Structure 1
Amino acid sequence: MTRSYQRALCGVALVAVLAACAGQPPSAPTPAATEVTSCGRAQSFPTPPKRILSLNQHATEILVALGLTDRIVGTAYPDTPDVPASIAADYRRVKLVAEKYPSAEQVLEAEPDVVVGGYASAFSEKDGRGREALERKGIRTLLLAESCSTGPIGISTYTDDLVLFGKAFGVADRAAKLAEETTRRVDAVSAKLKGVEPVPVFFYDSGEKVAFTVGGHGLGNDIAKRTGGGNIFADLPKVFGDASWEQVAERAPKAVVLVDYLGAGGVDGKRTFLQGHPLVAKTPGVAQGRYVTLTLPDLIEGIRLADAVEKLARGLHPGVSW
């Protein structure tokens, strides 16, 4: 075989290879992973999670409202049997894996891509559900920001979390729409109550030796401000915390919010206790029977927020045309 013939063959082969390559469509670039930061921990989602375990009711309600019901492999720790009518049918389809928090073994049995917590207690280190421990097993974690706040927060904390969830789960449009609707309704209430005299409010969660109440760092405090009220324990630097009954009496609330949830006794018992308390019975709100009942999920991050604002505003200002 002559060298010229060899060169000719190589040329033919090169043309064939180039032709073959030219006939193949270019490979699509690999999509970049979605990156979010949740309560100080960076999370990477190469694709939207398909198996979600949600460990608190208010977190689960958000996920259902975002249209993610078919991806939720389980929920846990319900606070109330009542669920907003807008999501009730879908919420009932979600499997309850534990009445309280599931064990670490139960979490792993659910084979989640991601675990979502509404309260920081969802990620208990001592129970083997710590965020770092789960992430070492390849399970990503998301925690609603109210649980890791170090100062006063507002309704924007919730709407920001909606945006974060929308990004992480690939439902950005739904999340934006829900955030916008919440903001619109809350702002409408605030505008109607502009200039009204604030009503001092005592939030009674539970407790008899001391009062467990809403502090100044949570959404409950912002809800009070936006409804023409004033949380009498806005100076308590916590989302929820203890106060003495002497303090309650000294601050003389003109209205009382009874917080209703499973495991804390019924609101009738709470009302009876306040009416019989030697210090609190004579405060204006108790003496005049000015009570408003809200559920625990009404006062924390979740889809009930706008409803809670409207209900409390009506209760504090019945003379306003609603």
Structure 2
Amino acid sequence: MRTRPPAWQAVALTGLMLALLAGCEQQALPAGREAKPLLHASPVVVEVCGQSQSYAAVPQRAITHDVNITEMFLFLGLGDKLVGYSGISSKKEIAPDFEAALDRLPNLSSQEMNLEAMVAARADFVFAGWSYGFVSGGVTPELLAGHGIASYVLSESCIRVRPRPRVALEDVEQDLQNMARIFGVQQQVQGRIAQLRQARERLARQMQGNTETPRVFVFDSGEKIPMTAGRLGMPQAILTAAGARNIFDDIPSNWPLGNWEDMLARDPEWIVIVDYGLPSAQGKIDFLLSKPELAQVSAIRNRRFFVMRYAEATPGPRSVQAAQRLAAALHPQRQITQDDVLMQAATSAGERP
């Protein structure tokens, strides 16, 4: 689901092409001249995977990797700071509200990160995550720093490099707050972030007192060995908020491999399908229905499937909406409010707030 170790592929992008495609509101500088960095009044210091990281300047030429991370960036209205993106293949769909902003930008790599392309784009900042672009032995924050490129790591992904006690919907809000501080737009975007917080808090109130926690299996991909969500992946936070229990919450990782034997023994009452690529969500459902050894699993016997898009199941502005939708499906008697937060906040996506 996440990225594999990168295959190094050189991508030649000319300065003229980048100038035309990067920021719609920025004009290309004369050859040999670079924009002067816009310094913060004092360095911005945020916690990145348990370590304090300092940002002296406001990034001007950013790159994002993966669709959920790109949606977070555009949710903050920072589209004019992007000079490219990667990790968004035809298998992953960005929210319709962000399509126009993405169409204006060069796709630097549909799969893994491409260091040569990022350097050629004269990037000064990369927003990605471990196994969401960053991978040991490939492109890492340290490697980028050696090229003078700052970076920020998605909080959920930090489990790949250090222990974490839990994952929560609040992690998305914290990442958005950190990005707002790094880019100096805290005041302009507080209303957008507040919408996510209010939706999350409203769901918590609506689920207060709930004692029914259906067992849920998250099926990402894989036929011989299923990839699922452990207790430190965003689906764990979504399931918890929606009043459900992840049958693989004993695995201390975010996107681990499970096994069919344990899935059968733990008998999920619902199955969450992560929808991206091939097979389609229906294809994954048909596969599960075709396995005779799973025929007696409660979710399969009762045809209880719930589909999440990739950008809903991974950390991003759609995570809280996914939790609301799931809660409404699992607990219809509670009449869960389903906010359209992304639509409301995305009206000026791709433009500076």
In structure 2, the residue matched to 1:254 is 269
1:71 and 1:30, CA in 2 relative to 1: closer, same or farther beyond 3 A?
A: closer
In structure 2, the residue matched to 1:211 is 226
Q: Which runs of 5+ in 1 are unaligned?
A: 1-28
SS in 1 for 2:257: strand
Structure 1 CA distance for aligned equivalents of residues 267 and 315 of structure 2: 28
Q: 1:75 aligned to 85, 91, 105, which one?
A: 85
Structure 2 CA distance for aligned equivalents of residues 302 and 66 of structure 1: 11
Do the aligned partners of 2:124 and 2:150 also contact (CA within 8 Å) in 1?
yes
Kindly provide the amino acid, as one letter, of the partner of residue 320 in structure 1.
R
Do the aligned partners of 2:47 and 2:53 also contact (CA within 8 Å) in 1?
yes
Runs of 4+ more than 4 Å apart: none
Cα distance per residue 1:249-275 (max 9 Å; x no partner)? 11111111111112x521112111111
Kindly provide the amino acid, as one letter, of the partner of residue 231 in structure 2.
G
1:225 aligns with 2:235: no
Aligned residues: 292
In our comparison, the structure showing a higher alpha carbon Rg is 1
Structure 1 CA distance for aligned equivalents of residues 41 and 188 of structure 2: 21
Structure 2 CA distance for aligned equivalents of residues 268 and 278 of structure 1: 18
Cα distance per residue 1:44-63 (max 9 Å; x no partner)? 33331110011221111111
The two structures have a TM-score, normalised by structure 1, of: 0.84
User: How much has 1:216 moved relative to structure 2?
Assistant: 0.5
In structure 1, the residue matched to 2:109 is 98
Higher mean alpha-carbon deviation, 91-100 vs 286-295, is at 91-100
Q: 1:276 aligned to 290, 300, 304, which one?
A: 290
Matched-pair identity in %: 27
Q: 1:38 aligned to 36, 43, 48, which one?
A: 48
Structure 2 CA distance for aligned equivalents of residues 110 and 42 of structure 1: 27
Kindly provide the amino acid, as one letter, of the partner of residue 122 in structure 1.
G
Do the aligned partners of 1:199 and 1:316 also contact (CA within 8 Å) in 2?
yes
User: How much has 1:92 moved relative to structure 2?
Assistant: 2.9
Matches within 5 A, 1:115-154: 115-127=126-138, 129-149=139-159, 150-151=163-164, 152-154=166-168
Structure 1 CA distance for aligned equivalents of residues 104 and 136 of structure 2: 30
1:248 and 1:96, CA in 2 relative to 1: closer, same or farther beyond 3 A?
A: same
SS in 2 for 1:108: helix
User: How much has 1:289 moved relative to structure 2?
Assistant: 0.8
Do the aligned partners of 2:45 and 2:52 also contact (CA within 8 Å) in 1?
yes
Cα distance per residue 1:189-231 (max 9 Å; x no partner)? 2322233311111111111122211111122111101111111
